[in-house]
Every structure is written in C-alpha cells, then in structure tokens.
Amino acid sequence: MYLPQLLARAVKGEKLTVLTCYDASFARLLANNGVDVLLVGDSLGMTVQGHGSTLPVTLEHMIYHTDAVARGAADQAFIVADLPFGSYQTSPQQAFESAARLMAAGANMVKLEGGAIMLESVHFLARRGIPVCAHLGLLPQSVNATGYRAQARDAAAAAQLLQDAGDLESAGAQMLVLESIPSVLAEEVTQHLAIPTIGIGAGPHCNGQVLVLQDVLGLTPKPPRFAKDFMSGAGNMAAAISAYVGAVKTGTFPGPEHGF
C-alpha cells in the first residue's frame, strides 16, 4: 500500500487501524485481518527485547525488524518504522541517512518524536521524498525527562502542542501520532489539521487508533489504561485482531475509560 491510498481512506472518513508489528508472521496475520498500518515500533525494546524503555533500541535493530515485517506484509499494509533514539536528533542529515536505511528495508514512512525542535528535520525529509509521521504528547524516548504519564494537561502545554502540531504539518509531516493527551485536546488537534491523527490514549476523535500488539493480545502484565485486551473471549489471535479492527472502524474503541 502507498501513502495516497492510505490518506484517501482517512479523507473518506474511514478510521485507520494501526498495530505495532515486529516480525513476518505477525505482519502476515495483521495484514490478512484488515489492519491498515503496521508500526514497526521501537517499543520492541520492551516487548521483544525485555528492556524497561525504548532507549536501548538501535537503528540496526529497527532495520532488521522492518525488513522482516515488510516481507511478511507483502504490500498488503502500509508500514511505518520508528527512528530510534539517537538516530535522528543530531541533524537533518543524520535523520535522512537513518530514514533512508529504514525505507530501503521496506518502510513506507518513518516516525520521529518531538515538536518544534524537529521541524527542520521533518522539512528536510519531506522535501527528499521520505514520508514522515510525527509524534506528540507522551514521547517514550524522553521518558527520563517526563516519565510515563499523560501530557499537555494544562492550558499552556495544550496550546504548545496545538502549535507544534500545526507547525509539523506545515513542515511536511503527513501523519501525526498523539499519545496520552486529553481527549478534548486530541479532538481539537484533529479538527485543526488536514493530515490524519492517530491516537493512543488520546480519545475517540482521532482519525485512527494505534495499540501495541502485545496489549491487544493480552500479553502485557500491567497494560496501560488506554489499552484493551481483545484476546479475551476471542478464541484465537486472528479473531482478536479482527475484533480490534472492527471496534476502531465502528468507533466503539476507545471508550471513555481508555482516555484522559
């Protein structure tokens, strides 16, 4: 799948479904059960490698997993790959070199975290044909500075996030992940932008939703409040994934209990 096809779904009002994915077998399963976007997330640092954060994940790790996911998906789903910590923050040139390697491994888009400080890099990548997904709110790569808690809960922080979102779109970002922010703010951002917003702990009003695959399958010992175990009562993994897709498409997930 290419970016114009994905964006056309959002323009038509279809909710986009996104799940993290790290290998070929799950890529095939997710693509065959209607998941629009496979996010090769640096969350693999925790879900696959057993670390306490995403920070130990390297660019080489991301290339390896992106290549596996791309082969499993076989062009049936859109693939977004995270730029890991330390692989893009130094300069736009560093971001381009890292992104180019992920694109060569099979990514259709790269994702990076941060607001105003990332504008130059987003512009640099977009002008060179690399689609960019931005990420605001809770930034897992900044966990040592912020901790794992909801963000933008006061007026000043909310105004800054809204400003950053518009600036990232103007710089060339073509999708935006909003993580762990108040639902009312996510709704305002979504209405303010022309590009799709993808929520995780950001309420029901985003253009799409993303969850970590292990949370969906009930494999996380202490899942975050915005997650839901779709494996419970599903019978098998394919049914659980289909249930997630159906719930997002029909708007029954996320519910009020999953937001802030």
Q: Which residues are catalytic?
A: 179
Tokens of 241: 């994934």
Please give the structure tokens belonging to residue 149.
């808690």
* Calpha distance 190→187 (Å, rounded): 5
- One DSSP character per residue, the chain reads --HHHHHHHHHTTPPEEEEE--SHHHHHHHHHTT-SEEEE-TTHHHHTS--SSSTT--HHHHHHHHHHHHHHHTTSSEEEEEPPTTSSSS-HHHHHHHHHHHHHTT-SEEE---SGGGHHHHHHHHTTT--EEEEEES-GGGHHHH-SS----SHHHHHHHHHHHHHHHHHT--EEEEES--HHHHHHHHHH-SSPEEEESS-TTSSEEEE-HHHHTT--SS--TT---SSTTTSSHHHHHHHHHHHHHHT-SS-GGG--
Q: How far apart are the C-alpha atoms of 29 and 191, rounded to whole Å?
A: 33
The residue count of the chain comes to 260
Query: Encoding tokens for residue 60?
Result: 């080489």
